[in-house]
Structure 1
Amino acid sequence: MTVAEQNNCALAHTLDMGGDGLRVAIKDCIDIKDMVSACGSAALIDSAPATENAVVVDSVLSNGCKIIGKANMHELAYGMTGVNTTFGTPVNPHWPDRIPGGSSSGSAVAVAAGLCDFAIGTDTGGSVRQPAICCGVYGIKPTFGRVSRDGCHPKDSSLDCVGVLARTAEMLVKGMEAIDPTFERQTLTKAPRLARVKSNVEKKLGDALVYALMEGLPDAAYVKLPHMEAAFEAGMTVIGVEAAVAYGPLVDAGKPLGADIRTRLINARKITDESLGAAEDIRTTFTNEVDAIFEDYDVLVTPALPIIPPTLAEAKDPATVLPLTKLLRPFNLSGHPAIVLPIPVGPDHLPAGIQIIGRKGEDAFLCAIAVWLTKTLTAFQPEDKS
């Protein structure tokens, strides 16, 4: 039996590294010394091993954590389903017929399955937050640039953030303490000012989440972000250009790539300078739009996903996958910190949840709000058992 089969494909490699503290899984696009960072791709399996640890790996080791393995992922961190034909698709522990999400699929599955206390993933367009909700766990994308990306792949990105996945909001805080030496936990002294962002979501999903929020937060205001859709599209443009620069040479070299990845990279190379310039204009406009709302409110709230995550069979149609990051990707473009909190919905308790967004640099305050919400809203009470 292979390593992947033993852990339902959550881990590409098992390890026993570090202290006796919290158990952590590291996404396979993050360097660990003397190991190949294959990034979920057959094209990179024969790459040279890393000569040193990524900064975030050294950080968790210095905090006494035990690294239990490198987590599987969607190939080249360039996809949302988590389906991986080379290393195997991680099995969603609570909803095995549904996608685990991507690209930090193995990180989410390892956490949901109890293989580790928290996992480290990367989030370029929702790649921590989306699989977190798909697998029913918590996930944070910190403020852009707050957590070092040194030793992460691809090397250069204006969107990507190193983040944490955990089974509770409290463990999410512990994970942030482990990866970020500047992080100092906070405790709320008064209720935060919340505003719900008007969002178009699947009705059965929206009704359930609105009820869960209104029951505990009846005074939360409604606000609009007029450029939210444009920010999603702009984020797709920017990630396409940056992915093409990083991995387009693999196409030229005839390296083995998944059909979906090869097609996306080929299409990404067709993005014009004019389109990229327009996307950067939207980045500025949307960022200013979000910052302006934070003059009156402490945190914004959206549904995490606009639809219930599709089944593995449904996800074969790209059209069912594209909407999954509509509410997540805009905040990669703007750089604001964001956390997703799982709230399964309906009689079948299908995967869903909410997202909270905070001011840049106020990651600890946002984490404190996440912990507060799990203690305030009845929807979280059965799940908060850290």
Structure 2
Amino acid sequence: MTSASAPNLWVLLGLSLAGILLMTKKLKKAVKVDFGAFVEKLQLLPPPQPAPPKAPHPLTGLTFAVSDLFDINGFVTGFGNPDWQRTHEAASQTSAVVSALVDGGATCVGKTVVDDMSFGISGENRHYGTPTNVVAPARIPGGSCSGAAVAVAAKLVDFSLGVDTVGGIRQPAGYCGVFGFRPSYGAVSHLGVIPVSTSFDTVGWFATDPSILHRVGQVLLQGSFTGQRNPRNVIIADDFFQLSKVPINRLTQVVIRSTENLFGKQVLKHEILSDYIASRVPSLKALDYNKSNGDAKFSSLKSLANIMHLLRRHEFSHNHFDWINTVKPTLDPFISAHVQEKPELSDKDIESFKAIKNELRVALNALLKDDGVLVIPTVSSPPPKLGAKELSSQDYLLTEFSLTVLASVSGCCQVVVPLGLYDNYPVSVSLLAKHGGDRFLLDTLQTMHASLVQKLADEAGKSKSPKDVSKEAAAETAKEKGNAAFKVKNWPKAIAFYTDAIKLNSNTATYFNNRAAAYLELHSFHQAEEDCTKAINLDKKNVKAYLRRGTAREMLGFYKEAIEDFRYALVLEPTNKRAAMSADRLTKYYQ
């Protein structure tokens, strides 16, 4: 090496180190404590409980978040865009639906991220950051109500509110692996909610538990829930499953077996739904795609999807074009491409679209009647990668819209039912009921859920080899040995047993959490922090892991991070004295 090249080497080394430091900072910021779900934290507390013998409020003890589309008194409704927030005043009253939930006993804890002006479908927001898909961090969370879905998937709240226009609840629910409910059009009040497309906008909600989905429905859906009715028809839309990249058996077998088990084989039916729609919605024929330019089988669906897209653009522009044209805000390129020019639909076009909407509702109501459930895929594929080019392609939009169009255009109700993972990505099906069949659909989900979970476990068990089962059993045995060693304060032996358990089964948070406790006793704080982080990644509600990581970080001198851990433990368990004392002590001395 010449002497002249030595300075260049030092420059390269310096740049490399700088790059490593920048990358480390980026990685540290990549997944926030709240997974980037929130744009604003707040607290709306419910009224005091009524005195006995009156029943407590129906949502007592539950927390929820709202997409940044719902007015809350004293806060600006941001609509996913900082220019909108800058040019609008704070709301003077809280939206009707949020007020109803708080009056029902739930506590609102914040506002969540939506796509820019709630128009996208990816869940990515260039202004506020993209919420992290908890199950698949390198993939999109889905939009428009991405933050609300992520807040539920990460178990930061018990449920959350969003608006579904062309899939704003259903798609993120499918991509994030949570339940999502889009009620019948007009079933829930829109007062105090920013409109996107008034023909399609429907207030809906996310949850990880169908019983919570049901409890929220009891508060928000008009009228009372009547006696339980079992479905007499469960219709599998066979052709719709051909639009999915997930094997049909992986999606339908669990539903089929659960239905047979609960209601009998005679209840199951199969339908080529695209043919049914083509025959029952005559106004579509004049608008069908040229069958030589595409798949004739799905031309009716793609025509419906195109109509939905055009009408959404038209109504969005009617609502917001003047503001966009006056303020000239910074918009996401995808949204800018669709809304910068005001689309003009003729009165004849509007009337044709209304006729199609009415005909589709009549057709689906005739198919489902009062006691029928339709089964379709929720989304066509696993969540695409963040920033993928396909997200802005016409093919991707039309394929996804072909699955969301039924409920959006007909106004019928739809619930997303997660069915575990396929190739490490969430998969789900959707159940649809006729317009106005919301209570029946939520009741049916509750009836079927335990059976679906059991059948899903049976399928998973079949796919496990005896070797896998024996490994899991051996891991539990190793953990118990580690616990015994821990009790007699033999920390190194406990660590050895927990390590054996992890080698046999690395998907269990308890093993990492227990090993972290033993490392703390040996003052091995780096190892304890690392194990706690792994435990938290596996179980987002692991209070002990947050407490132990906070302790490890405090001992390592990472006081800010330790305070965040103790405070987050308090979010999960507000009465935890250790977390409260540690957070207060560190805040007093180091902030």
Structure 2 length-normalised TM: 0.60
Q: 2:337 aligns with which of 250, 259, 263?
A: 263
Q: 1:142 aligns with which of 171, 183, 191?
A: 183
Q: Are the equivalent residues in 2 in contact too, given 1:137–1:341 (CA < 8 A)?
A: yes
1:112 CA drift (Å): 0.3
Cross-structure match for 1:281: 355
Cross-structure match for 1:17: 44
Deviations 1:176-210, CA, capped at 9 Å, x for gaps:
2233353526534x454211123132343423112
Question: What secondary structure, in the 3-state scheme, does the structure 1 residue paired with 2:403 have?
Answer: coil
Q: 1:222 aligns with which of 257, 270, 280?
A: 270
Q: Determine the C-alpha separation between the residues in 2 that align with 1:68 and 1:206.
A: 39
- Specify every segment of 5 or more residues in structure 2 that has no aligned partner in the other structure, as ranges: 1-27, 47-59, 279-299, 459-591
- Relative to total residues, which structure has the larger helix share, 1 or 2? 2
Question: What secondary structure, in the 3-state scheme, does the structure 2 residue paired with 1:68 have?
Answer: strand
Question: What secondary structure, in the 3-state scheme, does the structure 2 residue paired with 1:7 have?
Answer: coil
Q: 1:27 to 1:367 in 2, by over 3 A?
A: same
* Structure 1 counterpart of 2:270, one-letter code: Y
* Structure 1 counterpart of 2:214, one-letter code: V
Deviations 1:42-70, CA, capped at 9 Å, x for gaps:
23111111010100011011111100101
Deviations 1:59-94, CA, capped at 9 Å, x for gaps:
011111100101111111111100001111100111
Cross-structure match for 1:50: 91
Q: Determine the C-alpha separation between the residues in 1 that align with 2:233 and 2:150.
A: 33
Cross-structure match for 2:207: 166
Question: What secondary structure, in the 3-state scheme, does the structure 1 residue paired with 2:277 have?
Answer: coil
Q: Determine the C-alpha separation between the residues in 1 that align with 2:396 and 2:175.
A: 12
Question: What secondary structure, in the 3-state scheme, does the structure 1 residue paired with 2:426 have?
Answer: coil
Q: Determine the C-alpha separation between the residues in 2 that align with 1:381 and 1:259.
A: 43
Cross-structure match for 2:495: none
Q: Are the equivalent residues in 1 in contact too, given 2:415–2:432 (CA < 8 A)?
A: yes
Q: Determine the C-alpha separation between the residues in 2 that align with 1:267 and 1:92.
A: 32
Q: 1:374 aligns with which of 444, 449, 455?
A: 449
1:317 CA drift (Å): 4.1
1:283 CA drift (Å): 1.2
1:332 CA drift (Å): 1.3
* Structure 1 counterpart of 2:187, one-letter code: R
Where in structure 2 are the equivalents of 1:1-386 lying within 5 Å?
Answer: 5-19=32-46, 21-46=61-86, 47-154=88-195, 157-180=198-221, 182-184=223-225, 187-188=228-229, 190-197=230-237, 198-199=239-240, 200-217=242-259, 219=265, 220-223=268-271, 224=273, 225-227=276-278, 229=301, 230-253=303-326, 254-266=328-340, 269-295=343-369, 298-314=372-388, 317-319=391-393, 321-322=396-397, 323-346=399-422, 348-377=423-452, 378-380=454-456
Q: Determine the C-alpha separation between the residues in 2 that align with 1:185 and 1:44.
A: 43
Q: What is the number of residues matched between the two proteins?
A: 379
Deviations 1:270-323, CA, capped at 9 Å, x for gaps:
545444333223212211211110248511111111222212143564227412
Q: Are the equivalent residues in 1 in contact too, given 2:236–2:375 (CA < 8 A)?
A: yes
Q: Determine the C-alpha separation between the residues in 1 that align with 2:387 and 2:197.
A: 34
Question: What secondary structure, in the 3-state scheme, does the structure 2 residue paired with 1:341 have?
Answer: strand
Q: Are the equivalent residues in 1 in contact too, given 2:258–2:455 (CA < 8 A)?
A: no
Q: Determine the C-alpha separation between the residues in 2 that align with 1:353 and 1:21.
A: 28
Q: Are the equivalent residues in 2 in contact too, given 1:99–1:315 (CA < 8 A)?
A: no
* Structure 2 counterpart of 1:251, one-letter code: I
* Structure 1 counterpart of 2:354, one-letter code: E
* Structure 2 counterpart of 1:367, one-letter code: L
Question: What secondary structure, in the 3-state scheme, does the structure 2 residue paired with 1:327 have?
Answer: helix
Q: Determine the C-alpha separation between the residues in 2 that align with 1:12 and 1:118.
A: 17
Question: What secondary structure, in the 3-state scheme, does the structure 2 residue paired with 1:16 have?
Answer: strand
Cross-structure match for 2:289: none
1:380 CA drift (Å): 5.0
Q: Are the equivalent residues in 2 in contact too, given 1:195–1:221 (CA < 8 A)?
A: yes
Q: Are the equivalent residues in 2 in contact too, given 1:310–1:321 (CA < 8 A)?
A: no
* Structure 2 counterpart of 1:288, one-letter code: V
Larger RCO: 1 or 2 (CA < 8 Å, sep 6+): 1
Q: Determine the C-alpha separation between the residues in 1 that align with 2:360 and 2:34.
A: 41
Q: Are the equivalent residues in 2 in contact too, given 1:192–1:369 (CA < 8 A)?
A: no
Question: What secondary structure, in the 3-state scheme, does the structure 1 residue paired with 2:236 have?
Answer: strand
Q: Are the equivalent residues in 2 in contact too, given 1:130–1:325 (CA < 8 A)?
A: no
* Structure 1 counterpart of 2:269, one-letter code: A
- More displaced, 203-212 or 299-308? 203-212
- More displaced, 111-120 or 259-268? 259-268
1:345 CA drift (Å): 4.0
Structure 1 stretches of at least 4 aligned residues deviating more than 4 Å after TM superposition: 270-274, 379-382
Deviations 1:326-356, CA, capped at 9 Å, x for gaps:
212221111111111011343x332221111
1:267 CA drift (Å): 5.2
Q: 1:29 to 1:5 in 2, by over 3 A?
A: same
- More displaced, 305-314 or 336-345? 305-314
* Structure 2 counterpart of 1:84, one-letter code: N
Q: 1:67 to 1:343 in 2, by over 3 A?
A: same
1:146 CA drift (Å): 1.0
* Structure 1 counterpart of 2:431, one-letter code: I
* Structure 1 counterpart of 2:205, one-letter code: V
* Structure 2 counterpart of 1:14, one-letter code: K
Is the radius of gyration larger for structure 1 or structure 2?
A: 2
Q: 1:351 to 1:155 in 2, by over 3 A?
A: closer
Q: Are the equivalent residues in 2 in contact too, given 1:25–1:71 (CA < 8 A)?
A: yes
